[in-house]
Amino acid sequence: MIVILFFLTLFLASIAAGALGSIVGIGGGLIVIPILTLFLGVDIHYAIGASIVSIIATSSGAAATYVKDRITNLRIGMFLETGTTTGAIIGAAIAAYLSATILEAIFGTILILSLVPLVRKIGEEYPTKQELKGLAKKLNLRGDYVERDGRKIEYNATSPGKGLAGMLVAGLISGLLGIGSGTFKVLSMDLAMKLPMKVSTTTSNFMIGVTAAASAGIYFARGDVNPLITAPVALGILIGASIGTRLLVKARNTAVRKIFALVLAGSAIEMILRALGF
Partner 1 sequence: MNLRDPNSMNRILGIVLKTGVVLSGVIIAIGTVLFLTNHSLDNTSAYLAYNPVLIPHGSFPVSLSSISSGLTSLDPSSIIQLGFLVLLATPVARVALSLFLFAAEKDRRFVYLTATVLAILLFSMLATPLIPLFNG
Q: Which is nearer to partner 1, 85 or 158 (CB)?
A: 85
Total residues contacting partner 1 by CB under 8 A comes to: 61
Q: According to CB under 8 A, which one of 119, 231, 249, 261 is a site residue for partner 1?
A: 231
Q: According to CB under 8 A, which one of 12, 37, 74, 254 is a site residue for partner 1?
A: 74
Q: What's the closest the beta carbon of residue 179 comes to partner 1, in angstroms?
A: 16
Q: According to CB under 8 A, which one of 215, 245, 253, 267 is a site residue for partner 1?
A: 215
Q: Which residues of 118-156 are buried (b: 16+ CB within 10 A; e: fewer)?
A: beeeeeeeebeebebeeebeeeebbbebebeeeeebebb
- Give the span between the Cα atoms of 122 and 179, in whole angstroms: 26
* Binding mask of the shown chain, residues 107 to 146, with x at each position contacting partner 1 by CB under 8 A: -------------------------------xxx------
- Give the span between the Cα atoms of 37 and 120, in whole angstroms: 35
Q: According to CB under 8 A, which one of 38, 67, 113, 273 is a site residue for partner 1?
A: 67
Q: Is 53 in the site for partner 1 (CB under 8 A)?
A: yes
Q: Which is nearer to partner 1, 5 or 269 (CB)?
A: 5
What is the sign, positive or negative, of the torsion defined by CA atoms of 63, 69, 70, 72?
A: negative
Q: According to CB under 8 A, which one of 230, 245, 253, 267 is a site residue for partner 1?
A: 230
Interacting residues of 234 by C-beta distance below 8 A, sequence separation 6+:
14, 53, 54, 57
Q: Is 94 in the site for partner 1 (CB under 8 A)?
A: no
Q: Is 95 in the site for partner 1 (CB under 8 A)?
A: no
Q: Is 176 in the site for partner 1 (CB under 8 A)?
A: no
Q: What's the closest the beta carbon of residue 75 comes to partner 1, in angstroms?
A: 6
C-beta contacts of 138-142 below 8 A and 24+ residues apart: 139/75, 139/79, 140/75, 141/73, 141/75, 141/76, 141/79, 141/193
Q: Is 153 in the site for partner 1 (CB under 8 A)?
A: no
Q: Is 250 in the site for partner 1 (CB under 8 A)?
A: no
8 Å CB contact between 133 and 48? no
3-state secondary structure at position 241: helix
Stretch that binds partner 1, among 19-27, 59-67, 97-105, 269-277 (CB under 8 A): 59-67
**Nearest by Cα to 23 from 204, 271, 235:** 204
* Binding mask of the shown chain, residues 8 to 47, with x at each position contacting partner 1 by CB under 8 A: ----------------------------------xx-xx-
Q: What end-to-end distance do the CA atoms of the chain give, in Å?
A: 23
- Give the span between the Cα atoms of 169 and 75, in whole angstroms: 20
189 alpha-carbon distance from chain centroid: 12
What does the binding site for partner 1 look like in residue numbers (CB under 8 A)?
Answer: 1-4, 6-7, 42-43, 45-46, 53, 56-57, 59-61, 63-64, 67-68, 70, 74-75, 78-79, 81-82, 85-86, 88-89, 92, 138-140, 206, 209-210, 212-223, 225-232, 234-235, 238
